[in-house]
Structure 1
Amino acid sequence: MLNIFDRKLEILDGFETEYVKILYYDLPKNYSGEYRTYNYSRFCTIINGHKNVTLNDNRKFKYNKDNYLLLPPNSKVHMDMYVNTTALVFELNNELIYEVLRKTQFSNVAINDLKLTKNFFLGENKFDISKDIESIFNASISNESNNEFLIDLYAQKLVFDLIKNKSALNILKDGSSNPINIAIKYIDENIHSIINIKELANELYMSESNFSHSFKKIVGEKPVEYIKNKKLQVALEYLKTENVTEVAYGLGYANISYFIKLFKDKYKITPKQYQLNIYNSN
């Protein structure tokens, strides 16, 4: 049980499965603090009390046990508790969201008249959502030997029920909020530079190992492989108009021989042979 907002304590505390981490907060009256979601979406609900939330642009709202708050990754909000407040938070793994979105289709998504901005989604704890919360919480405190398996099943059901609403769907699938998609966008836009994976992971509040693992799970290859393949893909186009040295330097390779080796390993011919093939075909 947590009584302050502290990332180090969050890592140590809570119940974690493959798909979700469950955090339980018992916050005292007049507690105030900055709340972050870091690299995962968070589903926040209140058991008792209420929270006063202030967004980065100074917009304010209050929510209680009748509501849930859905925050995308890398969010930062300020929260004030004027009464003793107990809260339950589900940190939703990106792989969970990805799997549910991959396996389901909603051609006609219901649009409810709920408060929405690109920074958060405030919904109501009713019907299936309320049952999902109860199922996950009860499984987390049970002595059932397969409770982690059950929690992950209930977590999939929660995400499934959330994405029935177009507003919640937009929050969960928003590519600009997903840390891996942020990384892909950064890599694609900076493919001509030397990209430091450790520094990129730090910018996303992730360890290098966790970042690499999550990246491979979603993309299908490690970041270093993605960067290499992306550079070589771009090289194919540049080699049509530039010489090998210019292309290598332009893609951040100071060692020309190394660039040639990577190119040959992937395409089975050297960059120069590739250029000759293009010339001969014309």
Structure 2
Amino acid sequence: MLSKRFFENRSLQDMVENQTTYTMSNAAMHVFETHKMAEHVLLQFDQPVLASMLEGKKIMHLKDSQSFDFLPGESLVLPAQEVMRIDFPEAKEKNPTRCLAMAISEDKIKETLHLMNENLPKFDKRDWSLMDYNFHFSNDREIFQIIQRLLYLFTENHPSKDLFVDNMLQELVIRVLQTNSKKAYLENSNKFHQSSRLRYVIEFIRKNIHKNLCIEDLSNQAYMSESNFYRVFKNEMGISPVEFINEERIKLATKLLKEEDRKIKDVYMECGFESRSYFNRVFKKIKKVSPGKFQERFN
């Protein structure tokens, strides 16, 4: 959410993509507000940018990709000079669309990549490199919290805020790179598991999601010690093996709960959960609603 300080200091001059900008040494934060419906609005940055929706809905049209809805809780990574064509089908004066665009210097990104390759190298010796641009994803809790913190820091009047922002930018880049790495493993696991032990384990988890899975079994599949497997998995995926297993189980649970006449007891057992209470707790943490309430929406 935007702070009270932001609204006190910003000047609302344009009804479409009104821009408020805060500039620091390694980044510039732009907040765009649109208060009426509009189409074919063009936007471009001279640095790589992370765009994150705060309120409302946009329809994004990017080079070499299909158009898609851009909604609150989602982010998009774009290269420098990428031209965006944007529609605002629902923007109104009392229901504006608001979006954050964080332009990050390429030097800061390269510095963070070097730091990761020195201190958090990938298991298969490949270097961390720039993520696939036009990467569209849902923010996890950590990225959401970083974005909220940056929104506060850029508008704060503090003598050390440049240092604070620099540290948060570094964490943001690392988290986004790990999220991008996780997406690559999930999309390619069935193709490349023969050449990557981590991809093989991910495919093993997905095929055996209904079974009791433990770190010992997974580390054996990867031919690693438990401690090394845990470290490698969390480094490259951004989450622990248990968190990943729970995410995959909840994905399956949401699919099953949408089917008619499904009993929650059958669903959680089919997804590999050993108790109803643990299933409820994990489901609510990930989906922000209980399994029963979620099921009511579809039945």
| TM value normalised by structure 2 | 0.48
Give 1:18 shift. 1.3
Secondary structure of the residue that 1:164 maps to in structure 2?
helix
- Give the secondary structure class of the aligned counterpart of 1:56: coil
Deviation at 1:46, TM superposition (A): 1.3
CA offsets 1:207-264 (integer angstroms, 9 cap, x no match): xxxxxxxxxxxxxxxxxxxxxxxxxxxxxxxxxxxxxxxxxxxxxxxxxxxxxxxxxx
Q: Does 1:162 align with 2:176?
A: yes
1:121–1:168 Cα contact (<8 Å) kept:
no
Q: 2:59 and 2:34 mapped to 1: Cα distance?
A: 13
Number of the residue aligned with 1:87: 99
Higher alpha-carbon deviation: 81-90 or 52-61: 52-61
**Which position in structure 2 is the counterpart of 1:132?**
146
The structure number with the bigger radius of gyration is 1
1:51 aligns with 2:63: no
CA distance in 2, matches of 1:91, 1:168: 23
The unaligned stretches of length 5 or more in structure 1 are: 110-116, 171-282
- Cα displacement (A) at 1:166: 3.8
Checking the alignment, whether the CA contact within 8 Å between 1:72 and 1:119 is kept in structure 2 is yes
One-letter identity of the residue aligned with 2:146:
D
In 2: Cα distance, 1:162 partner to 1:58 partner: 20
Instruction: Report deviation, 1:56.
Output: 3.2
The one-letter code sitting in structure 1 at the alignment partner of 2:51 is C
5 Å-filtered alignment, 1:5-44, equals 14-32=21-39, 33-38=41-46, 40-44=47-51
Q: How does 1:1-282 map to 2 (within 5 A)?
A: 1=10, 3=14, 14-32=21-39, 33-38=41-46, 40-57=47-64, 59-82=66-89, 83=91, 84-105=96-117, 106-108=121-123, 120-166=134-180
RMSD over aligned Cα, in angstroms? 2.8
Cα gap change, 1:62 to 1:168, in 2 (>3 Å): farther
Contact 2:132/2:180 (CA < 8 Å) preserved in 1?
no
What is the SS of the residue equivalent to 1:148? Answer: helix
- How many equivalent residue pairs? 158
Q: 1:62 to 1:79 in 2, by over 3 A?
A: same
Cα distance in 1 for residues equivalent to 2:64 and 2:76: 17
Cα separation, 2, equivalents of 1:119 and 1:4 = 29
Distance 1:102 1:119, change over 3 A: closer
Normalised by the size of structure 1, how large is the TM-score? 0.50
Unmatched 5+ residue regions in structure 2? Answer: 1-9, 125-130, 185-299
Q: Deviations over 1:70-100 (max 9, x none)?
A: 1111211200112220111100101110100
**Paired residues of 1:25 and 1:86 also in contact (CA < 8 A):** yes
Contact in 2 for aligned 1:70/1:168 (Cα 8 Å): no
